[in-house]
Each structure stands twice: as C-alpha cells, then as structure tokens.
C-alpha cells in the first residue's frame, strides 16, 4: 500500500439524522476499526461537535468532516461557518458538492476559494466535481471536469494542496440508485489523474480521487478495483453503519495498490 495515498471512504450524511441517531450511527462506524484505509464521516453542522467529542472519548479512528465551509475568514456572513471554526472539530471538509452547486449556485471560483480556506486551516479539502445527465448526453463529461478543475485550481492558487482529495460524482448517479459503471468511473477518474499530471504535477501522486454516486456494499469492490479510484464518497449507504462498514471493508481488501 502507498502510505502517500491510502484509500479513503467518506460518508456524507447530508441533512439527515437527529442528534441521537447521529451519535448511534457514528458509534456504529467508530467502534469498528478498519485498518489500512482512512474513514471519514460528515454529519450535519450542529452534530459535528458532539460527534467529534464522542470520537475523542472513545478513541475512534475516524476523521470528522464538514459538508461545506465558508470561503471567508470571518465577518458579516450570516449563516456561514469558517475553516478556523471547523478546524478544532474537523479534519476534512467538502467543497462544491453538486447539491451546493445546484441549490446554492456555487461557482467554480467560489469552490476553489473554499478549497483554499479548508487547506489553509490544515484540513483535507474534498473538491467535488461531476457532470449532469444533460452534459453526459451531450458528450461533455471531460469538458465539464476540465472546467470545474481548472476554475477551482485557479481560485485556490498558492494554497498548499498536499492533502487534496477530488471526488468524482456524476450528478446523474447521486441518490438515484444508478451508479456509474466501473468503466465510466475508471475513465473519468483516469481523466482527472491525467489532468492533475498535466496541471498540478506535484500533486498527482498524493491526490486521492474518490468515486461518488449510489455506492453500495454490492458495487463498491468493483469500483475500488479501478486503478485511479482511491475510495468513495458515500451518501445514502453511509446512513446505515452496517452498509457503510461493508464498503470500508471492501476498500481495505484493495488497500494494497501501489501508486500509479
Ligand atoms: P449517494 O450520494 O451515495 O446517496 O448517491 C453521494 C453523494 O452525494 O455524495
């Protein structure tokens, strides 16, 4: 296994769980240690502190992550949460999830600034990219990925991105039960790796590329077997500890790959 790029399985709980459910779910994940990979869970904002505290108390080997992060340091930004506020509790934060792009009209430049803020606070930035069904139908997948990567990297210029994670999440596969085929996931993640090789050469070996979109215990192993898939960002299946843990186990079984 490459110590530089361990497999990462991250759960995005979205706007789900009560506080009690969150603590039970976190315990169901945290109480099972899966070695050889990294595990992260992204609970809703108000549960970050109680979940992180429980994790410390019980010695869980999991990273607590936020589902979003402000691009700004501080000031008059009602409702926003800065990287410095997250950092005491979180080791990771998502930027540019397709639901934020869609419902909150986040631009590639804003998302890149979020990546910069997250990285600046020493957390793992997870840059989410992916094409819609219409873009896929129009054969625009690579153009879209290129635009999203280019826009975010331009805005994040100068930031130390040595912890960067890129999550390839085709919008048409998110929450639909229709995951990308292993061939599609392999092609898109290889494209992303190629883009990094060309435009961010120093990051190509360390950047983990995740697949996200209807990952389940049944399809995880096939996706993880693709050379440029370094793990998964899991939505629905991360809300059941047993399913999420099976996905972690599938990653651990494949965690012996060398750097490509
Ligand atoms: P899903 O969500 O696994 O429910 O498709 C993935 C995501 O949105 O990160």
CATH number of the structural domain spanning residue 88: 3.20.20.70
For ligand 1, atom 3, the nearest C-alpha belongs to 235
Mean pLDDT of 203-224: 97
Q: Sorting pLDDT into bands at 50, 70 and 90, what band is 260?
A: very low
Q: What tens digit of pLDDT does each residue of 54-103 get? A: 999 999 999 999 999 999 999 999 999 999 999 999 999 999 999 999 99
What per-residue confidence (pLDDT) applies to 258? Answer: 45
Structurally, how many domains does the chain consist of?
Answer: 1
Q: What is the mean pLDDT of the chain?
A: 96
Ligand 1: does its nearest atom lie under 6 Å from the Cβ of 141? no
Range of the domain at 205: 4-258
Q: What does pTM read for this prediction?
A: 0.96
What per-residue confidence (pLDDT) applies to 2? Answer: 55
Ligand 1: does its nearest atom lie under 6 Å from the Cβ of 216? no
Catalytically active residues, by annotation: 97, 169
- 3-state SS, the chain, equals CCCCCCCEEEEECCCCCCHHHHHHHHHHHHCCCCCCCEEEEECCHHHHHHHHHHHHHHCCCCEEEECCCCCCCCCCCCCCCCHHHHCCCCCEEEECCHHHHHHHCCCHHHHHHHHHHHHHCCCEEEEEECCCHHHHHCCCHHHHHHHHHHHHHHHCCCCCCCCCEEEECCHHHCCCCCCCCHHHHHHHHHHHHHHHHHHCHHHCCCCEEEEECCCCCCCHHHHHCCCCCCEEEECHHHHCHHHHHHHHHHHHHCCCCCCC
For ligand 1, atom 9, the nearest C-alpha belongs to 235
Ligand 1: does its nearest atom lie under 6 Å from the Cβ of 233? yes
Q: Sorting pLDDT into bands at 50, 70 and 90, what band is 256?
A: low
Q: Sorting pLDDT into bands at 50, 70 and 90, what band is 257?
A: low
């Amino acid at each position: 296994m490459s110590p530089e790029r361990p497999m990462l399985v991250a759960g995005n709980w979205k706007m789900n769980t009560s506080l009690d459910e969150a603590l039970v779910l976190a315990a169901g994940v945290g109480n099972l240690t899966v070695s050889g990979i990294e595990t992260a869970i992204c609970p809703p904002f108000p549960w970050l502190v109680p979940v992180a505290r429980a994790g410390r108390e019980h010695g869980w080997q999991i990273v607590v992550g936020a589902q979003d992060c402000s691009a700004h340091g501080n000031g008059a930004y009602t409702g926003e949460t800065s990287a410095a506020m997250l950092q005491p509790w979180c080791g990771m934060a998502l930027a540019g999830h397709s639901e934020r792009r869609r419902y909150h009209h986040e631009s590639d430049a804003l998302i890149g600034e979020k990546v910069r803020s997250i990285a600046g606070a020493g957390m793992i930035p997870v840059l989410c990219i992916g094409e819609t069904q219409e873009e896929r139908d129009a054969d625009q997948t690579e153009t879209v990925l290129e635009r999203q990567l280019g826009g975010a990297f331009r805005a994040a210029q100068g930031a130390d991105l040595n912890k960067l994670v890129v999550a390839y999440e085709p919008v048409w596969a998110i929450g639909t039960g229709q995951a990308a085929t292993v061939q599609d996931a392999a092609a898109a993640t290889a494209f992303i790796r190629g883009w990094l090789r060309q435009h961010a050469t120093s990051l190509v070996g360390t950047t983990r590329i995740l697949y996200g979109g209807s990952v389940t215990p049944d399809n995880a192993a096939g996706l993880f077997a693709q050379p440029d898939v370094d793990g998964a960002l899991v939505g629905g299946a991360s809300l059941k500890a047993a399913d999420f843990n099976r996905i972690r186990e599938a990653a651990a079984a494949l965690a012996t790959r060398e750097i490509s």
